[in-house]
A and B are shown apart, each in its own frame.
Chain A
């Protein structure tokens, strides 16, 4: 299992004829993603790496029955591209574009919430469900199939952490970057909730950074709601306190948001925080071993697992995961 994307994910690349769009369309296809089309207004009827290009999202969805869009268009057009994807009827939008005005994102967030469309990003590296599908720009070479879910606010730091896990022989279910911007469609908590419900995920790595209070909120959520172990990493411990936003910034954050605050919040929720990305695998291994040791009986059987007559504990991290027969709709 995995979260958000799998073999049934059918992707349209918005901005497929651009430098980044075409390069990564090919990379996604090579990974095994069903890249069923691309959109660049005015380039309809052409092909990029054998992928048909359409003039609009509506046309692309009609012709391909795609359910997911990934956006590589420049910042000036990204907001429009998100609305276009949502109105055309995809259920998941992954926005890679960096530099989208934050106030504009406030309206986008509101609109997508009303429509029930999930947005990852903007300024996100996208996501990979190992051996199933990759949407975005994460290098497929760093991931391996396994029991750990990875969620991060960063891009390249995420690859670093995943690579550390992979080198230590610990694979992943789904790895995802929620995006580095202030206003993003999906939060840590949303993803943690999905990993908690995902049978194949046995532990989660959460990579945060200074600014905002998302990590603090996530720490509270993990303490209250999660049964699966979480390991953390926070970037920016030595960052100078420069970026103050007037008095209002200090008032609204209540003075929190530094790396020290976040590490403290995570630790007090029982979440160990690695000092270096290379420490993450050890911490995860410890958590996985402990979990096995203290849970010899059936680990909590989720209602969905009951319905399919399987328990989460039957499939160990090393065991080949049997083809899931459940037909869960996203």
Chain B
């Protein structure tokens, strides 16, 4: 799960990491009021869940209240990579002497949280990493022992010469590591971390991604989710315990298991079709999930055929079949549906499907080809003037 910069900064501040004063607002009047109360130049920063906000014009400097009015007007409501900006963060502008980078990420290769620092922080950090990897310093932390002060200090020495700044940075790195564990993060990042003319080290940006698997024990963090900043179909899917990604094609896909879902979509593409979505109904199936899945897919006006591919293991085919029958009865789908159910309780499932005159296809390839054929037919007839 992603959270906004202003939320991440609140978490940082609570942990004792220095961040500039700031407040998130939803309209121009509030933006102006916050800037007035600060009485000094501010930054206006779009709060959206995509990278590259600055390059898209979503981060601006405002010298005075008039400028705040103008920029808040412009940024609120603008679209960045397809996402509408509903909130901006008004935060005190800092005088920047230097910019560094600090990030902590879970690393599957070393099986450790890895801390990365670079003296070359800022918006071009990925280029720095690609062109001059020697400028990125990494430390894999022993997860059972935790981060030790000397390690944080060693990393800080890679960033600063002034021992006072080194100490501040080491303290920030220690606290960032604490935050990382405390909130079940998969990523905690400060880019840039800056020094000011009076030699203070400050986090002027903050990014935290939360491991979805940790949310069951992170009730406060889970409550930070900003539903307005996400695709509504994806929000519904998550509430129905499905994983779903909207795509641009016309074949709605319902599959169990992420790997098989991807392989099924790959095959749709391989045979010349175009998937409308990724949808994984997950492990333990219950018929309700299939109903929710059908409802979400049928809402997409581009869908011309629905392809259901289930290979039963922990998912039982009869549960899925029951869900399909429920969907037929409750939703009355007008697009053709092709099904392949195989594995656990397959025989019972085939019996259940007979109620709605559906047959289960023999193979993955055949069901994919059938879906493409039906989607094409349907598109052809839809385009015809009668």
A interface residue numbers (CB < 8 A to B):
19-20, 24, 27, 75-76, 96, 98-103, 106-107, 109-111, 125, 137-139, 141-142, 152-160, 163, 180-183, 207, 209-210, 212-214, 217, 233, 235-240, 242, 244-252, 254-255, 259, 275-278
Contacts and interface: CB of A to CB of B under 8 A. Distances in A.
Contacts of B269: 237-238
Contact of A183 (B108, B310, B365): B108
A160 B260 contact: yes
A217 B111 CA distance: 14
A183 B217 contact: no
B113 A156 contact: no
Contacts of A153: 259
A246 B207 contact: yes
Nearest to B101: A247
A252 B117 CA distance: 12
12 contacts: A20-B283, A125-B314, A153-B259, A156-B313, A182-B186, A183-B108, A209-B262, A213-B108, A244-B51, A246-B209, A248-B116, A250-B126
B314 A249 contact: no
A154 B136 CA distance: 33
Q: How large is the interface on B (under 10, 10 to 19, 20 to 34, 35 or more residues)?
A: 35 or more
Among A139, A180, A209, max chain B CB count under 10 A is at A139
Q: Which 10 A-B pairs have the closest CB atoms?
A: A154-B259, A156-B257, A157-B259, A106-B143, A248-B103, A235-B262, A156-B260, A248-B105, A101-B214, A156-B311
Given A101-B184, A163-B311, A237-B262, 7 more contacts: A20-B314, A156-B257, A240-B245, A247-B129, A252-B114, A254-B129, A276-B365
Contacts of A160: 260, 263, 311, 364
Q: Is the interface of B mostly helix, strand, loop or mixed?
A: mixed
A217 B314 CA distance: 30
Contact of B111 (A76, A99, A137, A183): A183
Contact of B106 (A99, A106, A277): A106
B344 to A, nearest CB: 5
A262 B324 CA distance: 36
B200 interface: no
Contact of B136 (A155, A163, A242, A251): A251
B142 interface: yes
Contacts of A163: 311, 342
Nearest to B112: A106
A102 B364 contact: no
Contacts of B361: none
B323 interface: no
B107 to A, nearest CB: 6
A27 B314 CA distance: 11
Interface string B185-211: 111010100000000000000010101
A240 to B, nearest CB: 7
Contacts of B348: none
A233 B364 CA distance: 15
Interface in B64-85: none
Contacts of A213: 108-109
Interface string B83-123: 00000000000000000010111111101111010000000
A101 B262 contact: no
